[in-house]
Chains A and B, each alone.
Chain A
Amino acid sequence: MSQYPTTTNPGGTALAVQGVSRQYLTFTLAGELFAMPIEQIREIIEFSGLTEIPLMPAFLRGVINVRGAVVPVIDLAVRFGRPRTEIARRTCIVILELEQEGLLLLLGVLVDAVNEVLTVEPGQVEPRPSFGAKIRAEFIEGMINLNERFVIALDIHQVLSVEELTTLIGMAAGEGQGAGE
């Protein structure tokens, strides 16, 4: 889990240490507000259908065509252990560019809506709480203190760990094989 370079340290205090402001995209997921750093975000596209892939785990909604590249789309809500994201008018796919083992990988994440880009000062970020956020602790990079409320800043490399996703997909594919193999 720890082999991917991330900008945080395990305590989630790296932002404060860096001493520079960072930009985050905020988005909603089942009524809840989340944020992710914008460095990896390549574009945001309106949801206009996707191609489902049979026998895949629920978090993998399918693939879409982004100007000739076939990009897998992950349902973040399912990844966080919640029900599937229902497609609605404001549903978006955020296309992220992740570097994994020297290769650039495009991944889409399905969100209910994107809100705004925040500029966050170092002092605005609190280390992640040990419990209470209702999602896996290592998915959280820190808590952004935003006028009386906290927004969870995601550690996108953990959330979209290719290694973990591939294992999960492989397991699902293996089950789907049935007794034949």
Chain B
Amino acid sequence: MARDALVQEARELLAAMEQALMQIEAEGQDAEAINAVFRAAHTIKGSAGLFAFERIVSFTHIVESVLDRVRNGSQPLDANLLTLLLECSDYIAMLVDAIAARQEEQEPDAERRARLEAALTALLGVVTATPPPPATVAQPQGEPQGKVEVESGESVSSDNWHISLRFSPDVLRSGMDPLSFLRYLGTLGHIVHIVTLPDALPAAAEFDAETCYLGFEIDFASPVDRQTIEGVFEFVRDDSDIRILPPHSKVAEYISLIDGLPEPSGRLGEILVKGGALTESELTRVLAQQAAEPVPAKPLGALLVENDVVPQAVVAAALTKQKQGEEKRAQEQKFIKVEVSKLDALIDLVGELVIAGAGANVVARRQKDVQFEEATQALSSLVEQIRDAALTLRMVPIGEVFQRFPRVVRDISRELGKEIQLVVTGADTELDKSMVEKLSDPLMHIVRNAMDHGIEPTEARTAIGKPAAGTLRLNAFHESGCIVIEVSDDGRGLDRERILRKAIERGLVQPDQQLSDSDVFRLIFEPGFSTAETVTNLSGRGVGMDVVRKNIEALRGEVEVLSRPAQGTTVRIRLPLTLAIIDGFQVMTGEAVFVIPLDLVIECVDVSSHDTRHNILKLRGEPLPFVRLRELFELPEAGEVRESLVVVQYGQQRAGLVVDRLVGEFQAVIKPLGVLFSDMKGISGSTILGDGRVALILDVPHLIQRTARAQAAQSWPRQASALSDR
């Protein structure tokens, strides 16, 4: 568990690091961004150290050293170093992956590591010529008290840090090994003296093997700063009692240390003397002062002011700063990390609740009891709210996917020798977390394609009067219950003729067949279809646009391509907002109940008054192609029924579905039909009705496409010219 947490944390930090580096590249050096990079590297190193993942610690250490010099201004951060740092973050990511795969004993790519390390060390070597300022000064956020205390006459003579550790009794149960912290501490400096305090140990009979009873007093010699030492205990800081006194600490701090710990003060004093933290005479003075002090646990600030060490104003400033820090921490805690499986379990339960609620509604209606009906209605509206709230728990901004792309675009454009700028809009558009994960690969593929095939080389662009730099746009927005994601480039556009030629060659279309532009462009999603004349490093790896389409369709989504010669191509992905629950519209054909996602239903029309002979209905003057579900699904004929038509719309396309009966709206919990039906078309899933029966959810986009195509195939000899104009 702890290992997973480490991996996840490291990945998040790496993403933050990369983002900060990209920001520096785009907007120039920025102290905050550099700090963010440094903090990320530092924290990764620290956490890895706790688990003794040596490979990551030693590598990150060098990166951190370089970053430290950047931070204190002794190393300029130029384009080369940025590239190097990005590569280093990639390599750390590989090391983290190795940990995730439990292969941390192996070096993922020794050659690459050696190359990166050499480059880093070379930088460090150059800079050492002008000696770097001592580490403590290099820390801009170093403890302000540190210096003051050194000057104070009341401070003790020890050169060592003093660390008091009282681990939480539960530390072992939370999967932490107290010893690993000490071991890691040892890598930052020299443990001069360590005393184990067994005072809390109970009688043998009450001894619980899983409880940690031991405390430690440590004298520690190290040039690092307080933050670094605190960082060692990052993972246990919340539950454990950890006190760190800097070298030459004030006497008063020792008093408060002695007072604050559970062991008898005399004994603790002895330990301190033995370890060299205090001399005998200092101890006497400490103890005397402790006895004289009425409120020994006086705040540090007050003590400092009392002793005229620092002026009141400075303390006030320090306190304000401290408070800000706390506020920031409080803000950070507004987010809770939740295991995805817990969230899934909750959504499942809400789903059951929705089904049970629908069941109660059915019973209430049947009983014709007004009060009962009102009660179930109130319940239903609450369930609906709970459903929506539960679903929003899984909603995340699409920016999570988009944020990978600045880096990708940067690297690919370099590789291709093209100048490409990336414009991201709508990054705060939200969609279901489970979709975010599955979107990343298809999007990556489309982006690569656009950069490789879409955007022309710089010379070709300038020759036809386009700006030298190509533009790639990522955009996301909500549209009628869907999320739409667009990847557009301002490149050369798709070559309609070449695609058509290729398709005819491969027998996908007939030479005399007339196709609309969108039909032609759709061909690029056919398996193995590539119009690239040369296989470059980026494309032609055997993964085609057909995989993209498959991935998107697996999410109940649709891909569409728009393209204009010399102006560019837009790939538009349309996805449902969530995969779990939808508002559905129930219809019946014969005895079978089908559900249409309500978002796609425009209106319902009584067809008995219309002429329905050609499967095209004239609706308010416009032709509307329709299909009978009974015919489509080869269901048995029923006798005389008064048919109804449901007008559905998907994207720009409209069509009608003719059914026997309209039942009404309800909340449908989507139940996947499972692996057996993975190749099935026309039905996207199933749901459970109030009475426990299973109803099938219609795959409207697919039905519309099929209807449109079937009719086009029937009618094109006559309407060929009309079709090609579309």
B625–chain A nearest beta-carbon distance, Å: 13
**Bound complex: CA A44 to CA B713 (Å):** 48
8 Å CB interface, A58-88 against B: 60, 62-65, 68-70, 72
A54 within 8 A of B: yes
Q: B695: which A residues are within 8 A, CB to CB? A: 51
**Bound complex: CA A180 to CA B675 (Å):** 24
Asked whether, in the complex, the Cβ of A105 is within 8 Å of the Cβ of B693, the reply is no
A-B contact pairs, 22 of them (CB 8 A): A49-B693, A51-B693, A52-B592, A53-B673, A53-B683, A55-B634, A55-B682, A62-B694, A65-B688, A65-B694, A69-B671, A70-B671, A70-B686, A72-B673, A72-B676, A72-B677, A103-B675, A169-B680, A170-B678, A176-B682, A181-B681, A181-B709
Q: B351: which A residues are within 8 A, CB to CB? A: 68
Q: A55: which B residues are within 8 A, CB to CB? A: 633-634, 680, 682
B658–chain A nearest beta-carbon distance, Å: 15
**Bound complex: CA A62 to CA B591 (Å):** 14
A96–chain B nearest beta-carbon distance, Å: 13
Given A49-B693, A169-B677, verify A54-B635 contact (CB < 8 Å): yes
B69 within 8 A of A: no
Closest B residue by C-beta to A160: B676
Q: Which 8 A-B pairs have the closest CB atoms?
A: A54-B633, A170-B679, A51-B694, A70-B671, A180-B710, A180-B709, A173-B680, A180-B706
Q: A105: which B residues are within 8 A, CB to CB? A: 674-675
Asked whether, in the complex, the Cβ of B686 is within 8 Å of the Cβ of A63, the reply is yes
**Bound complex: CA A69 to CA B669 (Å):** 11
**Bound complex: CA A56 to CA B379 (Å):** 38
- Chain A interface, >50% SS class: mixed
Q: Which of B632, B672, B677, B679 has the most CB of A within 10 A?
A: B677
A165 within 8 A of B: yes
Asked whether, in the complex, the Cβ of A65 is within 8 Å of the Cβ of B709, the reply is no
Asked whether, in the complex, the Cβ of A178 is within 8 Å of the Cβ of B710, the reply is yes
Q: B28: which A residues are within 8 A, CB to CB? A: none
B484 within 8 A of A: no
A118 within 8 A of B: no
Asked whether, in the complex, the Cβ of B592 is within 8 Å of the Cβ of A51, the reply is yes
Asked whether, in the complex, the Cβ of B679 is within 8 Å of the Cβ of A173, the reply is yes
Q: B479: which A residues are within 8 A, CB to CB? A: none
Closest B residue by C-beta to A72: B676
A159–chain B nearest beta-carbon distance, Å: 14
B6–chain A nearest beta-carbon distance, Å: 25
Asked whether, in the complex, the Cβ of A169 is within 8 Å of the Cβ of B688, the reply is no
Asked whether, in the complex, the Cβ of A166 is within 8 Å of the Cβ of B710, the reply is no
B355 within 8 A of A: yes
Q: B439: which A residues are within 8 A, CB to CB? A: none
Asked whether, in the complex, the Cβ of A70 is within 8 Å of the Cβ of B688, the reply is yes
Q: Which of B676, B682, B706, B713 has the most CB of A within 10 A?
A: B676
Given A69-B671, A180-B709, verify A53-B693 contact (CB < 8 Å): no
A179 within 8 A of B: yes
Select which of B635, B673, B692, B710 is within 8 A of A63 by beta carbon: B673
B700 within 8 A of A: no
Asked whether, in the complex, the Cβ of B671 is within 8 Å of the Cβ of A51, the reply is no
**Bound complex: CA A174 to CA B678 (Å):** 12
A156 within 8 A of B: no
Select which of B593, B671, B672, B675 is within 8 A of A166 by beta carbon: B675
8 Å CB interface, B558-604 against A: 592-593
**Bound complex: CA A160 to CA B686 (Å):** 22
**Bound complex: CA A170 to CA B679 (Å):** 5
A177 within 8 A of B: yes
Q: A63: which B residues are within 8 A, CB to CB? A: 673, 686, 694
**Bound complex: CA A173 to CA B634 (Å):** 12
Closest A residue by C-beta to B356: A68
Given A53-B696, A54-B633, A65-B692, verify A162-B352 contact (CB < 8 Å): no
**Bound complex: CA A180 to CA B692 (Å):** 35
Select which of A64, A177, A179 is within 8 A of B681 by beta carbon: A177
Q: B635: which A residues are within 8 A, CB to CB? A: 54
Asked whether, in the complex, the Cβ of A70 is within 8 Å of the Cβ of B709, the reply is no
Select which of A54, A68, A100, A174 is within 8 A of B352 by beta carbon: A68
A63–chain B nearest beta-carbon distance, Å: 5
Given A70-B686, A72-B674, A180-B713, verify A169-B679 contact (CB < 8 Å): yes
